[in-house]
Amino acid sequence: MGIGSRPASCASCGKRLNRKQWYYRNGKFFCKKRCFGTEQEKTATEAAKAAAAKAEAKEKARVAESAKETPAAS
């Protein structure tokens, strides 16, 4: 595996990757283990946010749907 097979900077902090010390986890490169932890936390937070947004959208759709179902006087 050549030197060109990895990016020049850390996926978390953007710091230039050290030639000797870098971590490869989940398809990303990090300058140190701590950056992998940080990135993982960030990803988890984003996933939680996305799940919450999805749940909210679902709830909104449900409310809209129940409003539609209100029997209209004909």
d(CA 10, CA 18): 9
Q: Which of 6, 15, 54, 62 binds Zn ion (CB under 5 A)?
A: 15
d(CA 40, CA 26): 10
Do 36 and 24 touch, CB atoms closer than 8 A? no
- CB under 5 A: which stretch of 12-20, 39-47, 48-56, 62-70 binds Zn ion? 12-20
Cβ distance to Zn ion smaller for residue 15 or 49: 15
Q: Does 17 bind Zn ion (CB under 5 A)?
A: no
Which residues of the chain form contacts with Zn ion (CB under 5 A)? 10, 12-13, 15, 31, 35
